Each structure stands twice: as C-alpha cells, then as structure tokens.
A and B are shown apart, each in its own frame.
Chain A
C-alpha cells in the first residue's frame, strides 16, 4: 500500500477540516458565494434594492401630492421643483413615479406569490400521484400554456372590473383582480418544474429511507422532497416577478389596467404616449423605470440560476 501513504499528516488534517467547514457552511451561504461570482446579478440585485427601497421610502421624503394640478407648470422638463418634470396637468412626475412604482412592484411580487403557490401545489400533486390524476394535470398545464394569455386577461378584466370595483372599491378591486389574473396565468411553468423535480426526487434513496422509516407522504413531501425541489422554483419565481410587472404595465398601457387616478408606471406611459413629440421625458422616465426593474430582476434570476444549480461547478 505504498501509494496510499499520505504526503503529510497535516495536509490530510487540513483537508478534513476544510471538508468539515464546507459541510458546516449552509446551503444558503454556498449559494450566496456562487451568486456573488455573477457580477451583473450582483449589480442587478443592488439596483433592484435601490428601486424597491426608493418607492417604499421615497413618498415619505418627497411629500408632493400625486394629483396636485398646476397649469402654470405643464409638461415642463426637469427642474428643481420637479426633478422628473411634469405631465399635461402639471402634476409632479417624481411623486407619481414613486407612488406608481409601489403598485407596479407590489403587483409583481403578489402575482409571483400566487403563481408559485398554485404552481407548487399543482406540481406537487401531479408529481406525487400516478396515473389518471397526473395525466389530467399535465393536460391542464398544456392547455393553460396554449391559452392566448393577453386576450384572455383583457377579456376577464373587461367583464369583471365593474362588479369588483363596486364590491371593494377601485384601488383594491383592480389590484386584486390584476394580481389574481396575472398570477393565475403564470403558475404553469412552476408546476411543470415542480412536477419534474418530484418525479426524480421521489425515487431517490433519501426519500426511500424516509419512507422506510415510516414517514407519511405529507412528511416526505414537506421535509424531504420540497426543500430539494425549491431551487428552480425560486429562479422561476424571480423571472415571474419581471413578467408580472410587464403584464401589469401592458394592461395599463392598453388603458385597461389601473384607472387614471392610480398612476402605475404603465399607466403613466399610456398617458404620455400622445405627447411624445413635445414632452418625451414624460414617457421615457416610466419606460426606463420598467426596463431597469425588469432587467435587474432578470439578471438576479440569472445569478440565482447559476447559484442554485448544484451541477454547475464554480
């Protein structure tokens, strides 16, 4: 056994110690280490944090009302009084952007949550059950994937907006509807991912071991399978936030999302598009905000994909 003699006992001990710390460093810390390597994702995360904090804290610092009409300052560009300029009624764009950003980003996160919860639930059910239920769910996923989403979104909003507005008020009603409808059309990808993960994970040895120890199916899912299936779900969820923000902006841009007195970014763009030649700043600012937010989220998603994919060596 000549070859197996360790070069030096200290090296071996060091390697062992390193292995031990590697085990001790949690999965989360490992993911964070990998995430930091993706420089653009880090920058994206930073920009996103600034935007989110900005719209959360901004309205507290910038106390100009969003609907103060001032005809003497119509369509002006950036100035000390109005850093982002004003719109056709002389309303301060910075205040409107901050207010609208809250709603746009809230819609993104809420719709993502709905998509993830529904998708994980449906995917888990499909992945754990065999035969008819699984087939039926896969068919349902395929059906939803081939639905023309935007026309259906528009149709549903057109049909239900008035009733819901009467029921719970404009702001809450439109918010709820848009979030539910957008989330309701985005769970399929998550469901697919979760199902695929479940199909492979449920046959692994550690799940089998849990089963052999008498773990109930629910415990198997919650304690053993689901935590291991979460990586792709987190990535898909991140991208879903961006998609939901775009979807909400699209609806508002078509004039069928939030009403004019709730200036989401898409709505500001919709109001601005007829003044493109005289006041381009009015359209450019909300457009750039949407673009920057979506770009940052997409980069964060890309970084998370790298960080959470254990097959990738970094």
Chain B
C-alpha cells in the first residue's frame, strides 16, 4: 500500500512539471511587460527600467527563466502580491480552508444525493420515480451554477429573507450562534455546487447500478437470504461505485471551476474569488500562484480517487 502510494505520488511529478511548463509558457508568450507602467512614467529614466529588467532577469532566455521560476516555486517563494503587499502563498493559505470547506461539503452532499437517488432510480427502472429523477437530473446539470446561484439569492435571500446574500468571514457572535451563522451563510454556496454535481452524478450512479444489479452474483446474494438493504449496499453499490469514482475524478476540474463561480456570486473569501479579484487588479504573481494551486488540488483529488478505486476494487492490487 505505502509502496503503491509512493509510486503514485512519484507519477504526479511529471504532471506537475508539465502543468508548470504550460503555465510558464502561457505567461512567457503573453504580450505586455511587467514594467510597462514605468515606461509611461516620465519620472523614471529608461536606464532605470533597463536595470530593473536586468535585475529581474527578464532579458534571459525562456528556459533559464523557467528554471529560475520553478526553483523559486520549490523553495516556497511564490511571489509577492503587488496589490495586497503580502506574499502570494500567505494570501492563498489564508483563503484555502474556506474553499476546501465549501467544495468538500458540497461534494459530500452531492455524492450522498447522487447515491441515494441513483440507486433508488435504478432499483425500479422506468418507474415514475426514475422518470422524475432523470428529468430533474437533466434539469440540474443544464442549469449553470451562476444562474442557480442567482435564483437561490432571489428566492431565499430577497423573497423569503431566510439566508444572508454575502458570505462574511468576520462574524462577531460566539458559541452556538457563531456556528449557526456560519452554517447559514454556507448553505447556498454549498447547495449550488452540490445540486449541479449531484445531478450529473445521479445519472452515472443510476447507469452503473443498472449494469451491476442484473448480474448473477447479485441474484446469488439474494438467493442466500440476505436482506435487500445488505444486497444493495454491500454487493451492488460497491461494484457500481468503481466506474463512478473514475467519472467523479474526471469532473474535478469542473468542480473547481464551479467553486470559482459560486465564490464570486456569494462573495465567499476563498481562492476562487481571490483569483478573480487578482485578475481584475492585474496582480500577476497571485494569478499564477492560484492557478497553480488549482492544478495541485485537481491532481490531489485525482490521487485520492485512485486510492479509493483500489479500496473499492480489490482486484486492483497495490504493487
């Protein structure tokens, strides 16, 4: 197990290197100059600008710049935010927990939703429940997250006035009230993400369960007198989950994309909204760092999915 984990971790290194190369290439190909503002500023003579360029190594060949940049990234020097006057990594570490919390909670809700609805629908295919569930699933993943978010705000915040519109990190209450306020403001962002993902996963779960439920070993399990619940949970679901995990892992980029949108709608102070505000403020080091963090997150979740895969399917041996 640990050897497998180690090997799997080593396999992520080429991916990370490739992603960093892509990121750096995009940045290097981009027109524009970080010292452009100095060029238009008449108080700064051109020699100073040239010296600055030399000092930061902007005139060096691309490969050299890439090596220098990746060395700095490895040493934890992720750049300095022009706007906030803080190190980019500090800024990200501040914001990361909220993103992970919102994304994690929504994924758990989505999985539970998809599993329950998908299994129930597959147990009675083409029943009324199945048809309603399929239709709702179709509607669910055709509704873009930004529109669901606005609909939720319109309904729950403006019309019913149940939930706050804006996510606040500085709640002054203490004790139970603190947790209550936090839960209340997290409901909408989590629900928006969960509904979108849950809807598309319901279809996967349904078809995966349908593939498995008619197999002979399930009949055997029923024939030896196991309760239906045990048959479904222990025999059917476990096997049906194997393809589902792959699909869930494949959707991780979409999940984090959705997180950016929801964070922006509800003003959740996570790394997604950090990315948008950095883009709007031309804060290149932060943009690069956040994009890279998103890449790492996607790879990390793929890794978790791979480990889950092996746990679900003992035929895949960890060697």
Name A's B-contacting residues (CB within 8 A).
142-143, 145-152, 154-156, 158-160, 162-163, 242, 246, 249-250, 253-256, 266, 269, 273, 276-277, 280, 283-284, 287, 290-291, 294-295, 298-299, 302
Contact = CB atoms under 8 A, between A and B. Distances in A.
B264 A254 contact: yes
B143 A291 contact: yes
Given A155-B287, A298-B142, A273 B150 contact: yes
Contacts of A147: 19, 22, 253, 295, 298
Contacts of A242: 142
Given A150-B260, A155-B291, A158-B287, A295 B147 contact: no
Interface of B: 15, 18-19, 22-23, 26-27, 30-32, 138-139, 141-147, 150-151, 153-154, 158, 250, 252-254, 256-257, 260-261, 264-265, 275-276, 279-280, 287-288, 290-291, 294-295, 297-299, 302
Given A150-B256, A154-B275, A291 B144 contact: yes
A273 B301 CA distance: 32
Contacts of B15: 142-143, 146
Contacts of A158: 279, 287
A283 B302 CA distance: 36
Contacts of B264: 254
Chain A interface mostly helix, strand, loop or mixed? helix
Given A253-B146, A276-B154, A291-B142, A145 B250 contact: yes
B130 to A, nearest CB: 14
Contacts of A283: 150, 154
B18 A148 contact: no
| Interface pairs A-B: 7 shortest CB-CB | A150-B257, A159-B30, A148-B294, A295-B142, A163-B31, A287-B147, A151-B291
B31 to A, nearest CB: 4
B279 A294 contact: no
A146 B144 contact: no
A276 B158 contact: yes
A158 B277 CA distance: 12
Contact of B138 (A143, A249, A295): A295
A298 B26 contact: no
Contacts of B287: 154-155, 158
A148 B295 contact: yes
